[in-house]
Structure 1
Amino acid sequence: MSDSPTTPSPESPRTDPAPGVDPILDAGTYTTLREPRASGRLALDGAWHQISPKYVVSQTLQNVAAIVITVAVWLVIGLFTDQWWHSIAAGIIVGITLFAQIVLPRQARALGYMLRADDLVFRRGILWQRMVAVPYGRMQLIDITHGPLDRAFGISKLKMVTAAATSGVEIPGLALGASEALRDTLIEVAETRRTGL
């Protein structure tokens, strides 16, 4: 039996607290943020928080449902009409959905947010990396949404709306406890940092 610590794989969710890990925000999330390998990548100092792997499962089920519905409609139209154009439309929809499914796990591991002194930074993407810093004092609305499938997996989406519509941020795949804790923290900090709009 080895005494060396085991390092969880980036695919496995966090289950135990580590130094600098928030027990609520990081419960059941990915352990390592996937970042571009290029030397010119955007980098910040601080602790990144990630989303739950259940987001990938929920989105996969939604993608499978979209493909099943598309194929069913394609079959029905094919049986009752002599049209051929529906095959092109069905093929495009299925192709786009399959591509989205293939890149979904990598995209999910690249999503992260960081709580800094004056703002929240949200990042997404590997090839086209995007970082948005939302000042606490500019937040006007913080909304938590979750559909039936998200509720079944215990995840939700937190949306922050600011005075500038382009700087609004949506963080999908948060555990319900994490989204509620993050909402309460953001509301509390925003009240103390409120600026003129």
Structure 2
Amino acid sequence: MDDGDWRPVRPALLRMRRLLLVVWLTPPTLAVAVVPVLLGAPAWALLALPLLATTVWAWWAVDRNWRSWRYRERDDDLLISRGVLWRQLTVVPYGRMQLVEVTSGPMERRFGLARLQLHTAAAATDATIPGLAPAEAERLRDRLTALGEARSAGL
């Protein structure tokens, strides 16, 4: 499969996920590093090193995961690819879609992002595309809804 037609998610998704990573891992890392020093046991501050290493590794892993997300519109279906170690390709035929919704939580809105979620008859095949520009998510929603109605009309 050629890579020319694949569309990536926005870089703002990477920035948002990295911010959340720092917000969640910095306080415990600082607490483990500072509290032992304040209590007179500076050697115990070395316990912060595994947390720091986890933060550095997660910074890299979030980037790899972000790069793996992409989608592709074809004539009869939508392809969603994601994953680094366990790659997953989801194929959603337009005629199988029952509901297409666009959501955007507070953090996503802050970073100018939206999430497109596709619901099909089988709950296991529901698909999501995070990190879209709101205008692109709405365009995709309208297009997929129109294509879904046209494809399912023949059933």
Shorter-chain-normalised TM-score: which range?
A: 0.7 to 0.9
Comparing both structures, which one devotes a greater share of its residues to helix? 2
Q: 2:79 pairs with 109, 121, 146, which one?
A: 121
Q: Which amino acid in 1 is paired with 2:151?
A: R
CA shift, 1:165, in A, is 1.5
Query: What is aligned with 1:50?
Result: 8
Query: What is aligned with 1:103?
Result: 61
Aligned to 1:193, the other structure's residue is in SS state helix
Runs of at least 4 residues of structure 1 off by over 6 A? 72-75, 90-95
Q: Where does structure 1 lack aligned partners over 5 or more consecutive residues?
A: 1-42, 80-87
Aligned to 1:108, the other structure's residue is in SS state helix
Comparing both structures, which one devotes a greater share of its residues to strand? 2
CA shift, 1:47, in A, is 1.0
Q: Which amino acid in 2 is paired with 1:191?
A: E
CA shift, 1:100, in A, is 3.3
* 2:128 corresponds to 1:180: no
Q: 1:152 pairs with 103, 110, 125, which one?
A: 110
> What CA deviation, in whole Å up to 9, does each residue of 1:8-39 have, x standing for no partner?
xxxxxxxxxxxxxxxxxxxxxxxxxxxxxxxx
TM-aligned CA distance change 1:126 to 1:183, over 3 Å: same
Alignment of 1:1-197 (within 5 A): 43=1, 47-71=5-29, 98-194=56-152
Whole-Å separation in 2 of the counterparts to 1:111 and 1:50: 6
Q: Which amino acid in 2 is paired with 1:157?
A: R
Aligned to 1:102, the other structure's residue is in SS state helix
CA shift, 1:124, in A, is 0.9
CA shift, 1:127, in A, is 2.9
Contact 1:139 1:160 in 2 (8 A): yes
Aligned residues: 145
Aligned to 2:7, the other structure's residue is in SS state coil
CA shift, 1:120, in A, is 0.4
Task: Identify which range, 141-150 or 93-102, moves more after superposition.
Answer: 93-102
Aligned to 2:20, the other structure's residue is in SS state helix
> What CA deviation, in whole Å up to 9, does each residue of 1:67-113 have, x standing for no partner?
135457879x999xxxxxxxx9x998876665333211122122111
Q: Percent identity?
A: 37
